[in-house]
Amino acid sequence: MTQALDRWIYAGQARRQPAAIGSVTPSGRQLAARLALPAAELPAGGRILEVGAGTGAVTRMLLRRAPRASVTAVEPNQRFARLLAQRYPQVSVYPAAVQDAALSGGPFPFVVCGIPFANLPTAEVRAVLGCLRRQLADGGTLTWFRYLGAVATDRVLGRRTRERRAANRVLLQNFCREFRTAHRAVVASNLPPAEVFTLRGRGLAGAGRMG
């Protein structure tokens, strides 16, 4: 019931803000589980930052994997942010874009990012990555995802969109290289299929690759 309601709310907001939301349905269970996996490694009270929490598909999984963690969620869509705050009173919800939020509690040993980087203006991607750098603790872990097939769909897009998306990919590739390791996992069952990157050890002799 909750999931059907979430899908309905999500689809309504995605119609209003297709670029910022980036998909028509929340992440499926397997994608959420993969993104939240490192939460299980945290000690009790460990701090987690979730960026782009949407209707809480990943938030729910974080709380399941690490029930005693302290979770901070950032979500600029006001409808989603209200839903998150009502449903998860134990989570600190910031109803803002991450680059505009005055976050407390950082730096965080685990950050999970659900932002649709491919769709955003390159300046916003740069600003978000700057925030992630500041908010991730030294040696911490970050997970993020993107939908598979984006490069193929680029072919049917206009030149400016293609160039923007290519520039965003380069920024993300360089960002991944700042980490000691980058692990990629495909979640083919998600709609749309996605790939999850788990980046560990930022600043520790970076060699991570997006694969």
Stretch that binds ligand SAM, among 45-53, 149-157, 168-176, 198-206 (CB under 6 A): 45-53
48 binds ligand SAM (CB under 6 A): no
Q: Pairing state of beta strands 136-147 and 179-187?
A: unpaired
* Minimum CB–partner distance for residue 165 and ligand SAM (Å): 15
* Minimum CB–partner distance for residue 75 and ligand SAM (Å): 6
Residues in region 52-111 near ligand SAM by CB under 6 A: 52-54, 57-58, 74-77, 80, 97-99
20 binds ligand SAM (CB under 6 A): yes
* Minimum CB–partner distance for residue 204 and ligand SAM (Å): 26
Residues in region 109-128 near ligand SAM by CB under 6 A: 114-116, 128
- Whether the CB-CB separation of 108 and 86 falls below 8 Å is answered with no
- Whether the CB-CB separation of 57 and 27 falls below 8 Å is answered with yes
Q: Residue holding tokens 């978000």?
A: 128
Give the C-alpha distances (Å, rounded to integers) separating 187 from 32, 54, 151, 182, 192: 10, 19, 17, 16, 9
Q: Which residues contact 122 (CB under 8 A, 6 or more apart)?
A: 164, 167, 168, 171
Q: 72 or 140: whose CB is closer to ligand SAM?
A: 72
Stretch that binds ligand SAM, among 19-27, 82-90, 148-156, 177-185 (CB under 6 A): 19-27
- Whether the CB-CB separation of 53 and 13 falls below 8 Å is answered with no
201 binds ligand SAM (CB under 6 A): no
Q: Residue holding tokens 């999850």?
A: 196
* Minimum CB–partner distance for residue 73 and ligand SAM (Å): 9
